[in-house]
Chains A and B, each alone.
Chain A
Amino acid sequence: MASGHMSVEEVKKHTRIYWVIFSSLLLLTGVTVGISYIHLPFTYAVILALVVASTKASLVALYFMHLISEKAVIYFTLALTAFFFVFLIIIPWFIPWDFATH
């Protein structure tokens, strides 16, 4: 965000957005809980849950954390982190499950 110098009007506009985001987050929470009661097949349930969670997370990051208008140095740090995070999160698929004795 344009930290430092914002007029009061601008801030006011922001605060209205915050409440809109809040309602969307509430709605999405309802959606994801609702879906869980349907007991979908596991794969679909995972995909849906992750899609909803990612949407919620994006809203928080973009608007509450002001990532929608952040500086390059922050984007750079986060892009780097995101790249390595991907490697971290695929570790489970690096384990040779074929040889596991259950």
Chain B
Amino acid sequence: MMEQLSNAWKNVLDRKGFDYGLPIDISTHGAAIDRLITTLHYFMALLFIGWGIYLVYCLVRFRDREGHQADVSEKHFGVPKYLEMGIVIFEACLLVFFSYPVWAKLKTDFPDRANSLVVRVVAEQFAWNIHYPGRDGKFGKTSIDLIDGTNPVGLDREDADAKDDIVTINQLVVPVGKPVIVELSAKDVIHGFFLPVARVKHDAIPGMTFPLWFETKEVGEFQIACAQLCGVGHYKMMGQFLVKTPEDFEQWHLDEEKALTE
């Protein structure tokens, strides 16, 4: 046991396998989020250290001792008032200039659907079903009555639009540099669609479909995580999040289409 503990210490001190701070960011909007988080933490550290120094100073200077008398006169300090006002203004700035623009952009400034990859993500216990519209860009009809083990989203293959639709399980493949619009829903309980490296997170709530968007700027193999407790398999509800070059993506798409016709 002690050995495991000392190994653990060695790992965290050597930063084996990770850096402190945020994970890498492969999205175009993530920088703004990271900037906010970093700024906030500098601000918090500054306040905390300031308070800390003050506290320690007080503890030393005003400790109870022989001949020391507390000063009970009604004092009024001006500094804290300015400090508090400063904090108010700073927080207001963070809200207006950092947080609001990001949220407004993500919620209202959607990329053009024609130039984006639109996918449906349907969460279930305990998997992520990814539904691609295929070449025609149109999702085929789906119905809850058609859902079974081989057809997790209930796609009606008889429908003309559905012929070229691709459905993958736990594998979200996107081309780098192209906006992705995700239509997020859930079949059973609430799940949390979380792409840590792309700074994307949203709850998938049954009975609702939420549009999200993001755009990647780096190729790589990453993970989809579940952020919301969804039951016994919550911890293993992970999917692959593959960002490919446009060429590789095209190849993958062709492979999937081929698999459909076979």
Contacts and interface: CB of A to CB of B under 8 A. Distances in A.
A44 interface: no
Main secondary structure of the interface of B (DSSP, over half): strand
A4 interface: no
Interface residues of B, number: 6
Contacts, number: 12
B223 interface: no
B182 to A, nearest CB: 13
Contacts of A101: 185, 207-209
Contacts of B185: 101
Contacts of A96: 208, 210
A37 interface: no
Contacts of B210: 96, 99
Nearest to B184: A99
Contacts of A99: 208-211
A6 interface: no
A52 B35 CA distance: 54
Interface string B113-126: 00000000000000
Interface of A: 96, 99-101
Ranked 5 nearest A-B pairs via Cβ: A99-B208, A99-B210, A101-B209, A100-B208, A99-B209
12 contacts: A96-B208, A96-B210, A99-B208, A99-B209, A99-B210, A99-B211, A100-B207, A100-B208, A101-B185, A101-B207, A101-B208, A101-B209
